[in-house]
Amino acid sequence: MDNMNLTLKVWRQKNGKEKGSLQTYQVVANEHMSFLEMLDVLNESLIGKGEEPIAFEHDCREGICGTCNLVINGRPHGPQKGTTVCQLHMRAYKDGDTIVIEPWRAKAFPVIKDLVVDRSSLDRIIQAGGFISVNTGQAQDGNAIPVERDQASAAFDAATCIGCGACVAACPNGSAMLFTAAKVSHLSHLPQGEVENQRRVQKMVAQMDEEGFGFCSNTEACEVECPKEISITHIARLNRQYAASMLSSQ
């Protein structure tokens, strides 16, 4: 097993009101560690010295929950395409490297502490989408509702969004268009979601604007940094749906 000496510049911020700054730490990591395990080693060292450990989020460590939201050397989730931080391993770095670790940077993602940000704005966008209509009485068998293969594939592509917010962190405008578009497309591609399509897209876009996310200027950085590689074609689809819904409601 090969060890490496690393210099970490980590964003430390006591809370959302106080000013934060980058603090420098030295850590010895093994190439077989995950990035989060390396942070665990650093925190054990800090606790051993009687210092405050670095606050960061994680849960599944399997790339499916979206909580490991870190900007590493300027890139959301680090240097590897289609990868979350918890799937990133230290073999992506070499001995002597300097790694800068920061939280998501967006007006709608206020810092709570250190590397932890409040991403509940994304939850409120989903909540604004509301529900889908179903017939009362005995539930209809799912296999009795035919869905074309292309539609099902497009819906699944959108449904892979884990709500991590990397698209927002990557966007120079702090836009949540890719996230919102994925959530809108997920249901609008399926017959179960067609009834509320117009109302859903209007409410979710309105909530996105209310949360303070920026506008989309088609830089495509969101697609590049999305760990699930969701296509920006969903943004184009959202724009078409939104325009059509606004025209029909006039």
* pTM, to two decimals: 0.91
Q: Is residue 164's pLDDT more than 90?
A: yes
One domain for residues 49 and 106: yes
Rounded to the nearest integer, the mean pLDDT of the chain is 93
pLDDT exceeding 70 applies to what percent of the chain? 95
**CA–CA gap between residue 71 and residue 101 (Å, rounded):** 6
How far is CA 114 from its chain centroid?
18
Tell me the average pLDDT across 182-204. Answer: 90
Tell me the average pLDDT across 147-166. Answer: 92
pLDDT of residue 213: 97
**CA–CA gap between residue 73 and residue 65 (Å, rounded):** 22
Contacts of 210 by beta carbon, 8 Å cutoff, 6+ apart: none
For residue range 88-118, list pLDDT tens digits in order.
Answer: 999 999 999 999 999 999 999 999 999 999 9
One domain for residues 39 and 155: no
For residue range 36-55, list pLDDT tens digits in order.
Answer: 999 999 999 999 999 999 99
Contacts of 240 by beta carbon, 8 Å cutoff, 6+ apart: none
One domain for residues 55 and 129: no
Which of 82, 83, 56, 80 lies closest to 70, judged by CA? 56
Q: What's phi and psi for 172, nearest 5 deg?
A: -65, -20
Q: What are the beta bridge partners of residue 25?
A: 8
Which of 11, 240, 241 lies closest to 112, judged by CA? 11
CATH (domain of 46) = 3.10.20.30
Tell me the average pLDDT across 202-217. Answer: 96
How does residue 190 score in pLDDT terms, banded at 50, 70 and 90? Answer: confident
Tell me the average pLDDT across 169-188. Answer: 95
Q: Which domain holds residue 227?
A: 120-248
Q: Answer yes or no: are the C-beta atoms of 217 and 163 closer than 8 Å.
A: no
Contacts of 18 by beta carbon, 8 Å cutoff, 6+ apart: none
Report the number of distinct structural domains present in the chain.
Answer: 2
One domain for residues 129 and 236: yes
One domain for residues 96 and 170: no
Report the run of H or E that residue 96 belongs to, with start and end.
none
In three-state secondary structure terms, 241 is helix
Q: Is residue 142's pLDDT more than 80?
A: no
One domain for residues 100 and 159: no
Question: What tokens appear for 87 in the block?
Answer: 């799937």
**CA–CA gap between residue 43 and residue 32 (Å, rounded):** 18
pLDDT of residue 250: 64
- 58-62, 140-144, 181-185: which has the minimum mean pLDDT? 140-144
Last residue of a domain, one of 92, 112, 132: 112
**CA–CA gap between residue 89 and residue 236 (Å, rounded):** 34
One domain for residues 50 and 105: yes
Q: Is residue 2's pLDDT more than 80?
A: yes
